[in-house]
Amino acid sequence: MWASPYVKRVELALKVKGIPYEYVEEDLMNKSPLLLTYNPIHKKVPILVHNGNPICESSVILEYIDETWKNESPLFPQDPYQKAKVRFWASYIHHVLSHSQIHIKQTNPSNFCLVDYKKQQLFH
């Protein structure tokens, strides 16, 4: 689901750490048997499948990635207070974006921008 912020944060984490992955697009209007098998509780993306094991929920996936590939660029600081601050701001930014009229729009095959539909503004 290319426009999903939950999927994007997982892809970004994999890219930051340089972990090769295969991306499988899902049609959320017609969910595949694989999606329903791997995430029977929420039936949502993203799902990371690693060593045959499905991991669901983007924040859980991010922590799994960070703990599994420890030596590559850490996503979270070790210090519990610093880690709490990172989690706070990640949650804040996500909350602001998902509760606003701002959406991601693809302007051409390789270019994305943020669109504020209320203010009719584009942010590149």
Ligand X SMILES: N[C@@H](CCC(=O)N[C@@H](CS)C(=O)NCC(=O)O)C(=O)O
Query: Which residue ranges make up the site for ligand X (CB under 6 A)?
Result: 1, 4, 6, 28, 43-46, 57-59
Residue 6: partners with Cβ closer than 8 Å, 6 or more residues away: 44, 45, 46, 58
Nearer to ligand X, 86 or 119 (CB): 86
Longest dimension (CA), the chain: 46
Cβ closest to ligand X, residue 12 vs residue 119: 12
CB of 87 to ligand X, least distance (A): 13
Instruction: Please choose, from the candidates 30, 57, 54, the residue with its C-alpha nearest in 3D space to the C-alpha of residue 45.
Output: 57
The one-letter amino acid code at 52 reads G
Q: Which is nearer to ligand X, 6 or 64 (CB)?
A: 6
What does the alpha-carbon distance between residue 53 and residue 55 come to, in Å, rounded to a whole number?
7
- State the minimum distance, in angstroms, from the CB of residue 59 to ligand X: 6
**Using CB atoms, what's the residue nearest to ligand X?**
44
